[in-house]
Amino acid sequence: MKLSDHLAKAQHRVEKSRRIIEQQRERIARLRAAGHETSTSEKVLATLERSHTALEHGLAAMLKEQPGD
């Protein structure tokens, strides 16, 4: 697989991760508005955010490896 293919996959994963995090934030807001406990959902969000950071770092490293134009 070429670097450009890996880069495209990494970008897709980062974008998907952003969407999942936003969905989790919305879920927490709905739970909170309904008076439900949110600590477990907030822990899940924290885990998602850590994973997202790792994906972003991986993407940044790949971009550094990409040959210049």
Rg, C-alpha atoms of the chain:
16
* Cα-based torsion angle of the residue sequence 38, 42, 43, 47 in order, rounded to the nearest 10 degrees: 150
Q: How far is residue 23's CA from residue 5's CA, in Å, rounded to a whole number?
A: 27
**Res 68: pLDDT:** 63
Q: What is the DSSP string of 19-53?
A: HHHHHHHHHHHHHHHTT---HHHHHHHHHHHHHHH
Instruction: Tell whether pTM > 0.85.
Output: yes
Tell how far CA 56 is from the center of its chain.
Answer: 8
Q: What is the pLDDT along the chain (69 residues), one digit of tens a residue?
A: 788 898 999 999 999 999 999 999 999 999 999 999 999 999 999 999 999 999 999 999 999 887 764
**Res 14: pLDDT:** 98
